[in-house]
């Protein structure tokens, strides 16, 4: 009996030890600390967070009206068959797209492997991808939203699923100008011609409309009853971030879990000023569509030396919109452009009278509000910013400067860096590293209420 008791006790001790032992030797980096190459190699060589479930994918189309024009918000939801539960609630990550992409970039990488949305879904996390209004191609013959069938130089935002034909070159003018961006010295811009329907749609498709689209789409796929049983974390990749921050005013998450996430327009303005530039308020980005061609991809892939690989990736990214529009003015706080936007819209003959009831001052404030941090919605929320030390547009100095503006609004704030990582997920290995880091932070209780 004593021998059997000893054996049983040994098994219990071993079981308890295994349950409390760390799954990997690597540790979470301290605030502003960097995950080094040894930890990265350990994650890639191991399988700390294996696939645990299958998932289903559903694409939803939600119609709404804003500033007198019709829009369609597209939402892609990945639902795991066996949800990952923490503190009795399932985990939901809401992703907002980078500037020139669309939601399907969360599904598949340019190399044809699982992107971050799928990686998380296969580990039990519901993933909801919000496509910015105007970025889904409703004219795609296969219904996929892909822009591959439309030549790059003919692409303009398509806002409503009821649109039957592409915009005509007669609807816009084309200019090649110096670009206020680091990705290319010059860029091709397209501006809608006043009086066209494209002009009217783009006036109505202002920053407020973008946030409204996110809100109606998210409420549609994550209604209040389900929201109450979920822990919701926002991840805005690149220019998805500036639209998720103001979304917290209307649909409050349980935290922000970023990678390569741009901040608010106000933080962007401060960062530029701290680095000696006060040009951004004067950039003429109102109603501007900026084409993002091969030179733009080259900027983000300088570390890739194989030209054949880069060309294959470029052909793959052509499925995405490959243009930017409203996010430039909002994200970079081109305040002059936003003021012009408000004035043009206020004088538009299609603007419903209800929008003028509060007066022109309120109207102007409404257009600019998405560029500011939410005044109260973030005050008890945990924020985790993860960035690569080689991020082409958000290097450590930029992240730290933007933090100075954002941190006072938040419940708690932490930055983690990953050595030699870049801005975009072109390959699956970085996805595994960042995904594992995120799950470790979740398991550590960082996003738990009251912690």
Confidence bin at 23 (pLDDT 50/70/90): low
The answer to whether 114 and 429 have CB atoms below 8 angstroms apart is no
d(CA 77, CA 92): 10
Q: Are 331 and 246 in contact (CB under 8 A)?
A: no
DSSP structure class, residue 446: T
Reduced to 3 states (helix: H, G, I; strand: E, B; else coil), residue 404 is helix
**pLDDT value of position 177:** 79
- pLDDT digit string, tens, across residues 133-150: 999 999 999 999 999 999
Whose CA is closest to 330, among 287, 361, 297? 287
> For the chain, first and last CA: distance in Å?
46
Q: How many CB atoms lie within 10 A of CB 168?
A: 11
Highest mean pLDDT out of 6-10, 99-103, 155-159? 155-159
Question: Is the per-residue pLDDT at 374 higher than 50?
Answer: yes
pLDDT band at 187 (very low <50, low <70, confident <90, very high): confident
The matching CATH number, chosen from 3.40.50.1950, 3.40.50.1820, 3.40.50.261, 3.40.50.1110, for 2-443 is: 3.40.50.1820
The rounded distance, in Å, linking the Cα atoms of 236 and 234 is 6
- Is pLDDT of 389 > 80? yes
The single residue listed with the structure tokens 């590293």 is 433
Q: What is the pLDDT of residues 243-273, one digit of tens each?
A: 999 999 999 999 999 999 999 999 999 999 9
Residue 451 has what pLDDT? 75
- pLDDT value for 185: 63
How far apart are the C-alpha atoms of 399 and 258, rounded to whole Å?
Answer: 12
pTM recorded for the entire structure: 0.93
Q: pLDDT by residue (tens digit) across 343-362?
A: 999 999 999 999 999 999 99
What is the residue extent of each domain of the chain? Answer: 2-443
* Nearest CA among 408, 362, 164, 158 for reference residue 264: 408
**Which pLDDT belongs to residue 180?**
57
Q: Which residues contact 271 (CB under 8 A, 6 or more apart)?
A: 263, 398, 401, 402
Torsion of CA 22, 87, 373, 397, to 10 degrees: 0
Please enumerate in sequence order all residues whose Cβ is within 8 A of that of 278, keeping only pairs 6 or more positions apart, or say none. 272
Q: Tell me which residue of 61, 108, 100 sits closest to 320, measured CA to CA.
A: 100
Q: Which tens digit of pLDDT belongs to each residue from 52-77?
A: 999 999 999 999 999 999 999 999 99
Token couple for 66: 């804003």
Residue 99's nearest CA partner among 324, 330, 370 is 324
- CB contact burial 341-359 (16+ within 10 A = b; e otherwise): bbebbeebeebeeebeeee
Q: Is the pLDDT of residue 7 over 50?
A: no
Q: Are 406 and 267 in contact (CB under 8 A)?
A: yes
User: Please, which pLDDT band fits residue 166 given cuts at 50, 70 and 90?
Assistant: very high
Say which range, 158-162, 176-180, 288-292, 367-371, has the weakest mean pLDDT: 176-180
**Two tokens, residue 10:** 């040994």
DSSP H or E segment with residue 11: helix 2-20
Token pair for 319 = 């499925």
């Amino acid at each position: 009996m004593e021998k059997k008791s000893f054996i049983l006790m040994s098994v219990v001790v071993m079981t308890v030890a295994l349950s409390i032992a760390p799954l990997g030797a690597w540790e979470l980096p301290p605030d502003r600390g960097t995950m080094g190459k040894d930890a990265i190699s350990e994650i890639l060589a191991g399988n700390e967070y294996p696939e645990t479930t299958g998932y289903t994918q559903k694409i939803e189309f939600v119609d709404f009206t804003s500033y007198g024009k019709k829009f369609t918000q597209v939402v892609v939801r990945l639902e795991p068959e066996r949800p990952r539960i923490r503190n009795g609630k399932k985990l939901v990550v809401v992703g907002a797209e980078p500037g020139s992409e669309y939601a399907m970039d969360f599904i598949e990488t340019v190399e044809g492997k699982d992107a971050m949305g799928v990686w998380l879904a296969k580990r039990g996390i519901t993933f909801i991808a919000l496509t910015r209004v105007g970025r889904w191609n409703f004219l795609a013959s296969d219904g996929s939203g892909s822009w591959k069938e439309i030549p790059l130089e003919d692409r303009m935002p398509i806002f409503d699923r009821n649109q039957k034909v592409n915009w005509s070159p007669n609807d816009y003018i084309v200019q090649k100008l110096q670009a206020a961006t680091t990705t290319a010295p010059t860029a091709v811009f397209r501006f809608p011609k006043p009086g066209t329907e494209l002009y009217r749609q783009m006036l109505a498709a202002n920053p407020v409309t973008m946030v409204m689209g996110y809100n109606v789409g998210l409420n549609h796929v994550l209604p209040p009853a389900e929201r109450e049983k979920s822990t919701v974390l926002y991840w805005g990749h690149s220019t998805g971030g500036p639209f998720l921050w103001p979304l917290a005013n209307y649909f409050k998450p349980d935290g922000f879990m970023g990678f390569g996430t741009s901040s608010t327009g106000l933080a962007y303005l401060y960062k530029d000023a701290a680095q000696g530039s006060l040009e951004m308020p004067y950039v003429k980005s109102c109603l501007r569509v900026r084409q993002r061609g091969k030179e733009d991809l080259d900027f983000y892939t300088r570390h890739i030396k194989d030209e054949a690989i880069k060309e294959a990736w470029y052909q793959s990214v052509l499925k995405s919109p490959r243009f930017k529009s409203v996010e430039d003015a909002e994200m970079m706080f081109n305040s002059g452009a936003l003021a012009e936007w408000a004035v043009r819209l206020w004088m538009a003959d299609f603007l419903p009278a209800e929008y003028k009831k509060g007066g022109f001052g309120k109207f102007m404030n409404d257009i600019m509000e998405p560029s500011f941090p939410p005044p109260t919605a973030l005050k008890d929320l945990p924020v985790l910013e993860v960035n690569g030390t080689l991020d082409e547009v958000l290097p450590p100095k930029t992240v730290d400067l933007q933090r100075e503006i954002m941190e006072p609004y938040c419940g708690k704030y932490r930055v983690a860096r990953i050595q030699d990582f870049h801005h975009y997920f072109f390959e699956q290995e970085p996805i595994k590293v960042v995904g594992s880091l995120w799950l470790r932070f979740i398991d550590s209780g960082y996003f738990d209420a009251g912690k």
